Structure 1
Amino acid sequence: MPAGHRGWPAGGHRCCILRREQDMGWTTQNLTQKFGAPPALSGLVGYLFAAEPTRHVVYRQQSGDSASAGHLIELYCGTDDVWHAKDITDEGGAPQATSDPSAYAFESEGTQHVVFLSDDDGHIHELYQSDGWHHGDLTDSSASVVRAVDPPFGWASAHYGTQHVVFRDEYRRVYLLSRGTGDDASWTQHPLTTATGPHAAVAPGGYAFDAAQTQHLMMVGDDQLLYEYVMTNGAWGPPRNLGPNVGASRDALPHPTGYGFAGDGTRHVPWLGEDRDIHEQSFTNGAWSPTNLTTEVGGTSPMPGLAPVGYAFESNPAVPVGTRNVIHVGADGVVYEFWNDPSGWHVNPLTGGAGSFPAASAPTAFADPVAGTQNVFYRSTADEIIELRYTPSGLHGSVGIHGSAHLHGKAL
């Protein structure tokens, strides 16, 4: 058993894994080797643009040339599964990025957005795609005098027709930049931290739960407790203490995000604990409850410093039973999947074995329920861009020397 492995839990869930593997499979592609994607400097962000439909990955380019270092690269592909690369810093006339980007599609306007920091002036910059990529300074656009000290985090709500960027200032206060459509199509700034409320110990994150007509902002407070702001009917409420203390060491504090599962109306926040376990806090039947996935389900200990990512894979014609999924990198460099269906939690390795590509970054992931796919991306130890893709229509064949096909971690 490999170092760090917690063992497989007893019980009948392995039969569920075998049943699932009969019809569904993961494939691996090295997008750098196969399509010439430029190497990555650090973390990636992926998103689905459902209107087209296209898949996208954005990251900072790894380059020995100072003129192109920090340029943002967009990888994109359509239903033909052919990936293309574009230097959106050049196309948009934007400054070089000094932080990892956050990115999302704004389906209400049919646009795409990438937010990031440049230099040390604390301004939040945006590249947006609308008939080509363009650059904007959101700090200037919102008439803000507040400066960001961490990478900003952005998302959009289809229900409200709004987009949002959350950040933290030098005094650890949380601010939200928001923009709507039509007459509300301008950026405005909203302070969320009050004089007596918790301050953010690390950069906050957020997400929209359109099925519940809510939006959610997650943060770790100075008291190292996990907090959530909730927006309902267009108004943000006060921060709510979700219960867990996420660790004593500030250097190990997680950067939580979250996701909603429309299948049962629940909300979930996965995070990496100081105990080197993957945890998930879940809101069900009006109350929050914790689950230690590493202890309860088993598997390999996670890689320190690489945050897990969670998402809902809602039921669809190809996959009638929806699942919740938490993806993380193990201490062995293998990418693992925790997934939950009505029978409970299960764990599977998605990479590993001969010819695989060990991970050097936290994964980014999203589901496409219309296509019935799940999509995971990460940077390898060789700074290459790796795509893991799950399809419900049986197994893909080998994709040659640039990738391999897997059944939940079993190389074909």
Structure 2
Amino acid sequence: MDKTQHVVYRGQDNRIHELWFNGAWHHNDLIAASGAQVLANGDPSGYTWDVDKTQHVVYCGLNTHIQELWFNGTWHHNDLIAASGCPTSAHPNGDPNGYTWAVDGTQHVVFCDEDSNVRELWFNGAWHHNNLNAASGSPAKVAGFPDGYTWDVDGTQHVVYRGPDRHIHELWFNGAWHHNDLTIASGSPVEADGDPAGYTWDVDKTQHVVYRGPDSRIHELWFDGAWHHNDLIAASGSQVAAFSEPFGYTWDVDGTQHVVYRGPDRHIHELWFNGAWHHNDLTIASGSSVQAAGNPFGYTWDVDKTQHVVYRGEDRHIHELWFPG
């Protein structure tokens, strides 16, 4: 594509804004650029699609429809509820999450509806709608926001979420949708107090789901053919509790895993794995003087082999911690 970085957020004006980097950072108002008339009622999710080399940003609008802003050289707008024929009863009750699936070259947007079902909007040349609770036979409703990811090892899709039973539930697809209670499957003694985030690790071909427990610790459920549980605060020797949802990602440069979160000190903390778990205070390590007021988000950039963690500071600015310096 054009080897750029992109960070999207909802401003105080309820518009979707983009900060993008091509050697220098720039700003763009995506509502204005796309001609969209629908302001945002929540946080956006961004992803890219290799099939036609496009960028996509999805969000819940003030009209309670899922809105898409997409870029193929210029920005466009689409109402995905209308485009997919999704019924009125399936309007979102929270922020959507978008991802793509290389197996069949499709896009997917998942969200919680007003009846606490997991809903999916998916694109294969046209937008379609699916109720994943019904499709999987899952009896577990959603008590938070779902997160979706894919696993190259067996060519499957996965959607994880917190249920009203405080268990982490998984809906997974291998040609048909299935349900799994990951709290039970992993033997985890710790219920979830927040929304999970999922990712995969190519180094040992594993899946990972991280979440915050009622003990304010970061817990991991990981899969290598069977599901296991790990307390990452204990494993890393960290003494810092979690005051935000965690976010996990991997770095191909040195084959490591990274989980970032906000602590009670309003610093951004990192738990990272290279065969053993370690702790790092990224606010101190970076020399940042800005305390965090929101959840961090992490990603890597292949262009210069760097890691990036972005968050909203107490000054309401978007701040970036990046490595190596």
Whether these two folds match at TM > 0.5 is yes
Pick the structure with greater CA Rg: 1
1:205-284 alignment runs, 5 A limit: 205-232=147-174, 235-243=175-183, 244=188, 247=191, 253-284=193-224
Aligned to 2:269: 336
Aligned to 1:106: 49
Letter in 2 for 1:189: H
Distance in 1 of aligned mates of 2:248 and 2:138: 31
Distance in 1 of aligned mates of 2:189 and 2:80: 33
What does the per-residue CA deviation read over 1:267-313, in whole Å, with 9 as the maximum and x for residues that have no partner?
001111111101111112x1111111112222243343x21100111
Residue 212 and residue 324 in structure 1: after superposition, are their counterparts in 2 closer, same or farther (change >3 A)?
Answer: farther
Residue 347 and residue 196 in structure 1: after superposition, are their counterparts in 2 closer, same or farther (change >3 A)?
Answer: closer
Aligned to 2:33: 91
Paired residues in the alignment total: 315
1:10-409 alignment runs, 5 A limit: 51-62=1-12, 69-78=13-22, 80=23, 82-94=24-36, 95-119=38-62, 121-145=63-87, 146-180=90-124, 185-194=125-134, 197-232=139-174, 235-243=175-183, 244=188, 247=191, 253-284=193-224, 286-304=225-243, 306-314=244-252, 319=253, 321-342=254-275, 344-352=276-284, 356-369=289-302, 371-391=304-324, 396=325
Return the TM-score normalized by structure 2.
0.91
- Structure 1's unaligned 5+ residue stretches are 1-50, 63-68, 397-412
Structure 1 residue 373: Cα displacement: 1.5
Letter in 1 for 2:289: S
Residue 71 and residue 53 in structure 1: after superposition, are their counterparts in 2 closer, same or farther (change >3 A)?
Answer: same
Q: Secondary structure at the match of 1:177?
A: strand
Whose RCO is larger (CA < 8 A, sep 6+)? 1
The answer to whether the Cα contact below 8 Å between 1:212 and 1:262 also exists between their aligned partners in 2 is no
Residue 376 and residue 271 in structure 1: after superposition, are their counterparts in 2 closer, same or farther (change >3 A)?
Answer: same
Distance in 2 of aligned mates of 1:245 and 1:205: 22
The two structures, once aligned, show a CA RMSD in angstroms of: 1.8
**After alignment, is 381-390 or 196-205 more displaced?**
196-205
Structure 1 residue 223: Cα displacement: 1.9
The answer to whether the Cα contact below 8 Å between 2:67 and 2:78 also exists between their aligned partners in 1 is yes
Q: Secondary structure at the match of 2:182?
A: strand
Distance in 2 of aligned mates of 1:76 and 1:211: 32
- Structure 2's unaligned 5+ residue stretches are none
What does the per-residue CA deviation read over 1:115-136, in whole Å, with 9 as the maximum and x for residues that have no partner?
11122x4211111112211111
Distance in 2 of aligned mates of 1:227 and 1:246: 13
What does the per-residue CA deviation read over 1:173-216, in whole Å, with 9 as the maximum and x for residues that have no partner?
11111112xxxx11101111136621112121111223542221
What does the per-residue CA deviation read over 1:371-400, in whole Å, with 9 as the maximum and x for residues that have no partner?
322111011111111111113xxxx4xxxx
The answer to whether the Cα contact below 8 Å between 2:65 and 2:79 also exists between their aligned partners in 1 is yes
Distance in 2 of aligned mates of 1:269 and 1:103: 20
Distance in 1 of aligned mates of 2:193 and 2:35: 35
Distance in 2 of aligned mates of 1:313 and 1:212: 21
Distance in 1 of aligned mates of 2:133 and 2:182: 17
Aligned to 1:42: none
Distance in 1 of aligned mates of 2:208 and 2:138: 27
Distance in 2 of aligned mates of 1:355 and 1:372: 21
What does the per-residue CA deviation read over 1:319-364, in whole Å, with 9 as the maximum and x for residues that have no partner?
3x4011101111101111111112x111111113865211111111
The answer to whether the Cα contact below 8 Å between 1:226 and 1:246 also exists between their aligned partners in 2 is no
Q: Secondary structure at the match of 1:295?
A: helix
The answer to whether the Cα contact below 8 Å between 2:150 and 2:156 also exists between their aligned partners in 1 is yes
What does the per-residue CA deviation read over 1:25-80, in whole Å, with 9 as the maximum and x for residues that have no partner?
xxxxxxxxxxxxxxxxxxxxxxxxxx221110000113xxxxxx1111101112x2
Structure 1 residue 153: Cα displacement: 1.1
Q: Secondary structure at the match of 2:178?
A: coil
Q: Secondary structure at the match of 2:283?
A: coil
**After alignment, is 190-199 or 264-273 more displaced?**
190-199
Residue 236 and residue 205 in structure 1: after superposition, are their counterparts in 2 closer, same or farther (change >3 A)?
Answer: farther
